[in-house]
Structures are given as C-alpha cells and as structure tokens.
Copies of this chain bind each other. A is one copy, B any other.
Amino acid sequence: MSEVKKGYIRPLDFKHGRIDMSHGGGGRAMAQLIDELFLRAFDNEWLRQLNDQACFAVTTGRMVMATDAHVVSPLFFPGGDIGGLSVHGTINDVAMAGARPLYLAASFVIEEGFPLADLRRIVDSMAQASQEARVPIITGDTKVVEQGKGDGVFITTTGVGVVPEGVSISGERARPGDRIIVSGAIGDHGMAIMSQRENLRFDTEIVSDTAALHGLVTAMVMAVPDIHVLRDPTRGGVATTLNEIARQAGVGMMLDEAAIPVNPQVAAACEFLGLDPLYVANEGKLVAICAAGDADRLLEVMRAHPLGARAAVIGEVTEDPHHFVQMKTAFGGRRIVDWLSGEQLPRIC
C-alpha cells in the first residue's frame, strides 16, 4: 500500500472530503479511492489479485448466481444502512436456493459531491456484514455520476454459491397440502424505513430486521433436505412472495391471519399509515414451504436458531386453478390476498 500511495498528493480526507467526477475516471483519483477505501475495508486474497475480475476454485456441482440493485432511501435507517443491506440482500437471494454463498461482487454508482465520510461508513458496514457472514467481496466497480443524476449511492451486489447435493429448492415445487412457514415477525424492515421517512415516534423504535439468513438455511437444509421452496419476502412483502410462488407452482394458498407473527409496534405503525404488514418488506425473514410431514422438524430447527426463534406455520398450499392466495381472517371470514397493484413503499431496498 505504501508504494502505491507514493504518487498521491495527499491521503483522502474522510472527514470533510467529497466524491468528485475524477473518482470515477479510471485515473489516479480512482486508484486512490480504491486503495484507501475499498481495498482496506474489504481486504481478502481474491480482491488483492487487483485484476478486473477475481479468480476462485470450484468443485463439480451446481452453483447459483443472484444479483440485486440497492437504492434504499434514506441510506441510513434504524438497524442498518444500504451497505449492510446490500450484503445481506444478495447473500439471502443465494441462500434461498439452499445454496452456501461463496463470493460477492459489488458495484457502486456514486453521486458527485457525496461525502466521503458517509461513503466510508457504508463501505465499513458492508465489510462488517461480509466478515460476519464469511462471504468475501472479491471484485467490484465504481462509477461517479454528476450531481442531480443519482441519489447518494446505489449499490449492486452479485453473489455466487454452491448447492449441496440432493437439495432442489424452487418456487414451482409447492404442492397442495404443503405447509407454509415464516421465520419470524413480518414487516420490520419496511416499517423501520417508513417510520423514519414519516418521522413517526413510538415507545419502542422499529428496527430493520436486515440480516444474512444463510446460517439459518444451512441448519434447515441439513435437517430437512427436501424443503420445497425458500424465498425471502422483500419488496412487496409476504403477500407478493406467496403470490409469485402460487403462480409459479400453479397452486393456491390458504393463510391463517391469527398465526402470522407481527411485532406490536409494527402493527401499530401499519394501522396508523393504512398499510397491511403482509405487503411490507422484510430483509431478515424467509418463507419456507415443505411437506406437511416435515413441518414439525423444520420448525424445531428454525426455532433453535436466533434468526428463526419466532418461526410459525402460517398456512398451507391448496389446489386452486386460479392460483389465489387467501386468508382466514381473525374474525372468521376469508379474503383474497391479491398482488400489490401499485407501488406502496418506493425505494425500500
């Protein structure tokens, strides 16, 4: 690093400095930003290859690849920020195939004038999330756009992982009679963002559930290798995720409203804002669908894991030529849980 920095006039000012167009220009300023910020935060043997791509070893089998652009606003929110979120989000997409996430790539689109201090805070949060999850960020890219042509920073992360033998998890495997499980209380992430945007105050602050779920998934897959479906209900919430799966598998679903865990302050905030927690984004929860006979065993291992302590069966898969997701309400009625048709919570992730 010392050799690299010889040519720089002075180190980056992470207290008062700002991103300018030269940081995306491919020249000395960009090299300095990469050295003093990204390489230092994400340091690992693959990134140190310093090529435009990173090389890693693989063994025969099946791999998965997932990508997610993160445009969450605000960038910092109760319980997290865009940095950690962008690591968790893609790790989770990889893990939802039952796969073990191996490596991440990260690409940044930064708005000119963005404070270096904020960028460093975000990058440090990514580095911490990546280290805690033991999934290194092995390659990346940085672009800068003019002020007013972006919004602080957008981060796209892409992940690859390896699928254990015998595991075949996919949306179209939901079958009538299967049980539908959620790993915990729903709506926390979306309402953490919304309560900050709307400046709501509660006795207990609503905190995003942003978390990497691959450890939980590993425990689940080891206990029940024949899990049919896993998916993380992010944008559009549990309702949208279940509609996607119903459509993909050609089935219906019947939920039990009373069984769906929702934290009281989330329920209160939703009521205040006129939102339904079923449509609110989660960033540290998953939906699992498995054969009825596997449900008890799966619930048991989920509840033994800190990220699945409040796991619950919330319904079952049905035969339905219309692929409707329905719900038995707390008052004994039934209603259709339709697709979200408009945009409820823009830029939630």
Stretch at the interface among A135-143, A218-226, A295-303: A135-143
- A64 & B69 in contact (Cβ 8 Å cutoff): no
- A340 & B27 in contact (Cβ 8 Å cutoff): yes
A330 within 8 A of B: no
With beta carbons under 8 angstroms apart, the residue of B27, B63, B70, B139 that contacts A339 is B27
A12 within 8 A of B: no
A25 within 8 A of B: yes
Counting every copy of the chain, the complex holds: 2
- B31 & A103 in contact (Cβ 8 Å cutoff): no
- B62 & A26 in contact (Cβ 8 Å cutoff): no
A44 within 8 A of B: no
- Grouping DSSP codes into helix (H, G, I), strand (E, B) and loop, the A interface class, with mixed when no group exceeds half, is mixed
How far, in whole Å, are A172 and B48 apart by their CA atoms in the complex? Answer: 11
How far, in whole Å, are A345 and B144 apart by their CA atoms in the complex? Answer: 12
- B49 & A58 in contact (Cβ 8 Å cutoff): no
- A66 & B105 in contact (Cβ 8 Å cutoff): yes
A171 within 8 A of B: yes
A7 within 8 A of B: yes
How far, in whole Å, are A240 and B148 apart by their CA atoms in the complex? Answer: 28
Most buried by B among A51, A109, A159: A51
Which residues of A from 1 to 48 have beta carbons under 8 Å from B? 3-4, 7, 20-22, 24-31
With beta carbons under 8 angstroms apart, the residue of B25, B54, B143, B281 that contacts A64 is B54
- What's the nearest-Cβ distance from chain B to residue A73, in Å? 8
- What's the nearest-Cβ distance from chain B to residue A148, in Å? 7
- What's the nearest-Cβ distance from chain B to residue A241, in Å? 9
A140-159, CB under 8 A of B: which get 1 and which 0?
11111110111100101011
- With A25-B340, A49-B170, A53-B97 given, name 18 new contacts (CB 8 A): A25-B235, A25-B345, A27-B339, A28-B339, A28-B340, A30-B235, A53-B66, A56-B62, A63-B160, A69-B108, A69-B141, A71-B143, A105-B158, A145-B151, A146-B346, A154-B154, A156-B158, A158-B158
Return 12 A-B CB contacts under 8 Å, by A number.
A24-B235, A24-B343, A25-B235, A25-B345, A26-B340, A53-B93, A55-B99, A63-B160, A67-B139, A67-B156, A68-B107, A69-B107
